[in-house]
Structure 1
Amino acid sequence: MAEKVAEREILLEGVDLLSFYGVGNANIQLLREAYPALKLVARGSSIKAVGDPQAIESLYRLIETMVQEVRRHGRLPEERVRELVGRSREGEAPPPLEYAPILRTVSGQWVTPRTEGQRQLAEAIETHDITFAVGPAGTGKTYTAVAFAVRALRERQIRKIILTRPAVEAGENLGFLPGDLREKVAPYLRPLYDSLEEMLSSEKLQQLLEQGIIEIAPLAYMRGRTLNDAFIILDEAQNATRLQMKMFLTRFGHRSRIVITGDLSQIDLPRPENSGLLHAIQLLEGVPGIAVVRLTETDIVRHPLVSEIVRLYEADASRAARPSS
């Protein structure tokens, strides 16, 4: 008895075709590899599938999901299509669109927003030129920003990643440490390396650092530069002064994106009111193209105890700030 053969035309309505098909039609090639028994003909805004009816139905559901993702995010990277194909084969539903993954780490895990606050942060970074992310430790501010930077570099949206921090002495005296300024501030830049090492192989990271495609430097090294075609992350920004913050923001060049992260409860400046992060948010919030995302202890994704520790310290600080009767 002959196998049943069906034919179906799948229309791609209301979607950017270049984003859907991918560079060099890479996404369609992935579909062909995933459904080798089907004959797929892609022309303009339609895909014709011929073959097993059940396989065609599976393909239809997968394409429908892909179309929704392009409509929402305006993009559909190959790695996301690979994940959707894998889930389709295993009969799993894709994760909700609002929690779409950012990229895959070296270990194979997907970096995905895990809380509502992180989802808001991811959406802000995708849709704004400058994003301020403020909140306590453990909320994924820097990690999320680095993930977006690495993804942008992989997809050739940018040519350079710049990660920077103010070289503030958090209770320690840098002057007594050996080496030049870069060597002195290296311990303070270590968290940025930690994030990068989860998303790039050691060899690739070292290569990009040596080529200057990824640059990790103290904030003082940004003076006098114009940063075009770059993804720039200012970490621990609560410790930048007002003048430093103005200097940093005016480095912003064409086709670049900036993410500024910080925790306003951890200001190490002699006069906390001089925090450039605090001042910049007060000054710039509401300006078109600039987003401010506030994360809380409910967005902490480290050990559960971290949320409780943060909550108790914040409560203690509030009590201490109250005037005595």
Structure 2
Amino acid sequence: MSKPRKSVARQTRRDDRARVRNDSKLIASADRSIPAQPTAARKEPAVPKTPGQKRYDAGFKSSDIVFGLGPAGTGKTWFAIQRAAEALKAKTIKKIYVTRPAIEVGEGMGFLPGELDEKFAPYLIPVKEAFVEALGAGFYEYCLKAGIIEPVPLAFIRGRTLKDAWVIADEMQNATKAEFKAFLTRIGENAKFVINGDVTQTDEKIGRNSGLMDAVDRIGNHSQVTVVTFTRAEIVRSGLCQDIVEAYEEGFGRF
């Protein structure tokens, strides 16, 4: 009786892998079907819009490691990308790395088709608009192809020295304590690490093993580290986004 069960399990795994491949093809096809529009780069430096963004910006100027903690929609990633792009255009750095924990890929990156850069391409989707706004569509695409902007899974940073670069790490509430240690010890000369996360969005698989607040507790008081906590009142994405965040944090019957 064990053989039929094994056969069913094998078929289920095959179906799951096929579904992931098909979904990836559909996403790629949809992306290609949208005609590319020429987008010019931002000409003026980005201006902080909230008290949190002002503290964040001050941290970029004074610290090598900046933590941005708080809810979605507060502009943590967008503002970090604008400043990183400005540093790149000013030639004070040579690269921009974008990373985040791989836990968000439900099936694991091994099931996604293509080479490593293709597997990690979906991680660029949330940040593409911010890069295009900062650099222009053409220069952004050039930077990707030339490896000047490099998306890299958090797990693949181990063993590397990241220097002359900005490193923007998102969704870091889903990085474990061990991953944080491996990540933070990669910092080299003339490198700035921007670490963003929202502890209320920690994945269930990580739970108490989340390394975000553990890292803040360990190094948050260092002279070269700035910790900025954004509030719900600083959500700039939209008023509705702010209401939704409050509804989920405060419980039912909010409205």
Which TM-score bucket, shorter chain as reference? 0.7 to 0.9
Query: Paired residue for 2:8?
Result: none
TM value normalised by structure 2? 0.77
The question of 1:121 aligning with 2:56 is answered: yes
Q: 2:177 aligns with which of 211, 234, 242?
A: 242
2:241 alignment partner, SS class: helix
The Cα shift of 1:108 comes to 5.2
Do structure 1's residue 187 and structure 2's residue 103 form an aligned pair? no
Structure 2 counterparts to residues 102-121 of structure 1, below 5 A:
106=41, 111-121=46-56
Preserved CA contact (<8 Å) 1:269 1:275? no
Partner of 2:29: none
Cα–Cα, structure 1 residues 106 and 140, in superposed 2: closer, same or farther, change >3 Å?
A: same
Indicate if the aligned counterparts of 1:297 and 1:310 stay in contact, CA closer than 8 A: yes
Q: 1:307 aligns with which of 202, 223, 242?
A: 242
Aligned to 1:134: 69
Greater share of strand residues, 1 or 2? 1
Structure 1 residue 173 and structure 2 residue 74: aligned? no
Equivalent in 161, 166, 171 of residue 231 of structure 1 = 166
Question: Which residue identity is paired with 1:173?
Answer: E
Question: Which residue number corresponds to residue 54 of structure 1?
Answer: none
Structure with bigger gyration radius: 1
Amino acid paired to 2:249: E
Q: What RMSD in Å do the two structures reach over aligned CA positions?
A: 1.9
Where 2:119 maps in the other structure, the secondary structure is helix
Contact 1:165–1:189 at 8 Å: present in 2 too?
no
Q: Unaligned regions of 5+ residues in structure 1, if any? A: 1-104, 318-325
**Contact 1:228–1:255, Cα closer than 8 Å, also in 2:** yes
Q: Distance in 2 between matches of 1:179 and 1:290?
A: 37
> In structure 1, what is the equivalent of residue 5 of structure 2?
none
1:190 alignment partner AA: I
- The one-character-per-residue Cα deviations of 1:53-77 (angstroms, maximum 9, x if unpaired) are xxxxxxxxxxxxxxxxxxxxxxxxx
Q: Normalising by structure 1, what TM-score?
A: 0.61
Give the deviation of 1:117 after TM superposition: 1.0
Q: Who is 2:226 aligned against?
A: 291
Distance in 1, Cα, partners of 2:207 & 2:112: 25
**What is the deviation of 1:109?**
6.7
* Structure 1 contact 115–299 (Cα < 8 Å) conserved: yes
Between the two structures, name the one with larger relative contact order (CA 8 Å, sep ≥ 6): 2
In the alignment, which residue of structure 2 is the partner of 1:65?
A: none
1:196-250, CA deviations, whole angstroms, 9 ceiling, x for partnerless residues? Answer: 1111122211222222222112112211111121111111111111111111100
Give the paired residue count.
212
Instruction: Give secondary structure in 1 for the equivalent of 2:98.
Output: strand
**Tell me, which stretches of 5 or more residues in structure 2 are unaligned?**
1-39
Aligned residues: percent identity? 43
More helix by share: 2
**Residues 153, 108 of structure 1: alpha-carbon distance in 2 compared, 3 angstrom cutoff:** closer
Pairing 1:252–2:187 present: yes
Q: Do the aligned partners of 1:239 and 1:269 also contact (CA within 8 Å) in 2?
A: no
- 1:23-43 CA distances to partner (integer Å, 9 max, x unpaired)? xxxxxxxxxxxxxxxxxxxxx
Give the Å deviation of 1:110.
5.3
**Partner Cα separation in structure 1 for residue 137 and residue 249 of structure 2:** 38
**C-alpha spacing 1:218/1:194, structure 2 compared with 1 (3 Å):** farther
Encode CA deviations 1:87-124: one digit per residue, 9 max, x unaligned: xxxxxxxxxxxxxxxxxx72657521111111111111
- The residue aligned with 1:3 is none
